[in-house]
């Protein structure tokens, strides 16, 4: 039997209400015992044969993170990312469950593609992969995809992410059908007629830069429509990458009214504004676009009051040639797997969220929304564990990313907080705790 004992780290697991020093015993990749010191419990005196013991005093022990919005690009765009490189980047970032969006080639709109992704993940992946199936065939917005077959093959949600479902009747049907499987429909909320090929947030800055703008209303209108459809159908709606104050307000009101809606945002929407586009910085081109200071403050407030349930990366890796070009031609997206946790920890250092709230948004809530039974350190759980030094200063270096996508506007940022090691199924992946290891 393989045994690993994690001793004395500060355990943060909101699912179980743990937030303090404790010990965790792992046997054959599964969590067997958890003792929280404040409850008078410990595994201090335990004598075990053939056990790897890690002294984690001074470090934080989190459930492996669940990133519910990732573009792994395979099949079809392997030059941008593969399941191998994307999951390697994920575990480097402390993420052990990756949900991948269907805008591949072919689109993941049928069970054959879903099975292909899952098999590839088993053969080449470094962590668990959960495919998200398309809502419409080819993401064309014209005909529903085979949602039932994709669910049976292993899809955990449905989305046309990258594109909105402009046809309200199709969105209604998707919300109705997905109810049968208990899986949410994830809305890429954008009225493409309003965004009209825009390249950045619409405002005085877009005017000055001479770049076509995307008004906030393009997002707000679709969030409101989808909330109305969720109310009509009783379906489960999840709003992806919320970027606007108006969107936040609509979601807050819907939640108050008891409509089944959850929401997510990404680090770039609570750390950056449209100013980052200055100088025609293509690494700051993303969809939805970076917005104003006012929007950023509204997003932070919504994270703090629980209106926004999830922080996801929206990891969107692109080839350097797709960013080293005119702003108008550049592909939108940010490579985010390796910065998700350190950037989210800034909310802790800035007093916006507690650590426990951050773990909720990075692990507990996404797992619950998708019914994954992950995101916890409870007894019996798969031992996916992220070890973090929350104060360790690091400078983000895009060139050092394991992801093929080096496209990030955070390159060169110095932040506090770093992943020291990731355990997947009880195994440490990087040797980051070598100095703290003894064997019994
Ligand atoms: O910026 C983005 N990039 N937004 C999306 O919705 C899609 C993504 C991509 O696939 O590159």
The overall average pLDDT reported for the chain is 97
Instruction: Please tell me the predicted confidence (pLDDT) of residue 269.
Output: 99
Cis? peptide before 53, omega within 30° of 0: no
Q: Are 156 and 131 in contact (CB under 8 A)?
A: yes
pLDDT (tens digit, 9 = 90+) per residue, 384-417? 999 999 999 999 999 999 999 999 999 999 999 9
375 lines ligand 1 (CB under 6 A): no
- How many angstroms is it from 77 CA to the middle of ligand 1? 13
Q: Checking DSSP bridges between strand 200-201 and strand 213-214, what pairing results, if any? A: parallel
Q: Are 269 and 69 in contact (CB under 8 A)?
A: no
334 CA: nearest ligand 1 atom: 1
Q: Are 230 and 260 in contact (CB under 8 A)?
A: yes
Q: Are 343 and 267 in contact (CB under 8 A)?
A: yes
The H or E element spanning position 355 is helix 355-359
Strand partners, 264: 310
Angle at CA of residue 89, ends 133 and 69, nearest 5°: 30
With tokens 């680090």, the residue in question is 267
Cα 102 to Cα 85: distance, rounded to the nearest angstrom:
17
How many residues does this entry show for the chain? 440
Strand partners, 158: 133, 185
Tally of CB atoms within 10 A around 154:
16
103 lines ligand 1 (CB under 6 A): yes
Q: Are 127 and 98 in contact (CB under 8 A)?
A: yes
Residue range 271-300: average pLDDT? 98
Cα 207 to Cα 205: distance, rounded to the nearest angstrom:
5
User: Is 19 in the active site?
Assistant: no
Instruction: Please tell me the predicted confidence (pLDDT) of residue 46.
Output: 82
pLDDT (tens digit, 9 = 90+) per residue, 228-250? 999 999 999 999 999 999 999 99
Instruction: Please tell me the predicted confidence (pLDDT) of residue 48.
Output: 82
pLDDT (tens digit, 9 = 90+) per residue, 33-53? 999 999 888 888 787 888 999
Residue range 317-324: average pLDDT? 98
User: Measuring CA to CA, which residue among 433, 434, 429, 431 is closest to residue 125?
Assistant: 429
Strand partners, 419: 388
- Which domains does the chain show, CATH number per domain? 3-61+383-439 (2.30.40.10), 65-369 (3.20.20.140)
Long-range Cβ contacts of 44-48 (<8 Å, 24+ apart):
44/7, 46/5, 47/440, 48/3, 48/5, 48/440
pLDDT (tens digit, 9 = 90+) per residue, 116-139? 999 999 999 999 999 999 999 999
Rounded to the nearest angstrom, the gap between the alpha carbon of residue 224 and the centroid of all alpha carbons in its chain is: 23
Q: What distances in angstroms separate CA 327 from CA 203, 289, 314, 331, one per listed residue? A: 17, 13, 20, 9
pLDDT (tens digit, 9 = 90+) per residue, 359-381? 999 999 999 999 999 999 999 99
302 lines ligand 1 (CB under 6 A): no
- How many angstroms is it from 360 CA to the middle of ligand 1? 24
HSE on the CB side for 217, CA within 13 Å?
5
Instruction: Please tell me the predicted confidence (pLDDT) of residue 314.
Output: 98
Annotated catalytic residue, options 13, 111, 191, 314: 314
pLDDT band at 276 (very low <50, low <70, confident <90, very high): very high
332 lines ligand 1 (CB under 6 A): yes
Cα 433 to Cα 411: distance, rounded to the nearest angstrom:
26
């Amino acid at each position: 039997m393989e045994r690993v004992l994690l001793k004395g780290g500060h355990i943060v697991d909101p699912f179980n209400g743990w937030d303090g020093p404790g010990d965790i015993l792992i046997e054959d990749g599964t969590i067997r015992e958890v003792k929280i010191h404040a409850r008078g419990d410990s595994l201090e005196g335990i004598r075990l044969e053939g056990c790897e013991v890690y002294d984690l005093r001074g470090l934080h022990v989190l459930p492996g993170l669940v990133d519910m919005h990732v573009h792994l690009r395979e099949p079809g765009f392997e030059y941008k990312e593969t399941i191998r490189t994307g999951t390697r980047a994920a575990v480097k970032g402390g993420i052990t469950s990756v949900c991948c969006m269907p805008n591949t080639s072919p689109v993941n709109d049928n069970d054959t593609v879903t099975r292909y992704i899952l098999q590839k993940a088993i053969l080449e992946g470094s962590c668990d992969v959960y495919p998200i199936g398309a809502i419409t065939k080819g993401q064309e917005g014209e005909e529903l995809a085979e949602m039932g077959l994709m669910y049976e093959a292993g899809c955990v949600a449905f989305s046309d992410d990258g594109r909105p479902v402009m046809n309200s009747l199709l969105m209604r049907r998707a919300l109705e059908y997905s109810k049968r499987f208990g899986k949410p429909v994830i809305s890429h909320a954008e009225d493409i007629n309003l965004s009209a090929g825009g390249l950045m947030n619409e405002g005085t800055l877009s005017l000055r830069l001479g770049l076509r703008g995307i008004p906030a209303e393009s997002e707000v209108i679709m969030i409101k429509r989808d909330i109305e459809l969720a109310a009509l159908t009783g379906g489960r709606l999840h709003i992806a990458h919320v970027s606007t104050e108006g969107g936040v307000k609509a979601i807050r009101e819907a939640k108050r009214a008891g409509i089944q809606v959850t929401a997510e945002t990404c680090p770039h929407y609570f750390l950056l504004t449209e100013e980052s586009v200055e100088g025609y910085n293509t690494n700051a081109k993303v969809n939805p676009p970076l917005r104003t200071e006012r929007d950023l403050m509204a997003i932070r407030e919504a994270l703090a009051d629980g209106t926004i349930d999830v922080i996801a990366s929206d990891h969107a890796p692109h080839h350097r040639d797709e960013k080293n070009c005119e702003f108008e031609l550049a592909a939108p997206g940010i490579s985010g797997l390796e910065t998700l946790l350190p950037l989210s920890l800034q909310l802790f250092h800035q007093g916006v969220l507690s650590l426990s709230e951050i773990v909720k948004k990075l692990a507990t809530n996404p797992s619950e929304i998708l019914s994954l039974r992950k995101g916890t350190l409870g007894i019996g759980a798969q031992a996916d564990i992220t070890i973090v030094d929350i104060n360790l200063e690091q400078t983000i270096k895009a060139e050092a990313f394991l992801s093929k996508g080096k496209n990030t506007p955070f390159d060169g940022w110095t932040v506090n907080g770093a992943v020291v090691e990731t355990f997947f199924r009880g195994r440490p992946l990087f040797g980051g705790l070598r100095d703290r290891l003894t064997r019994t």
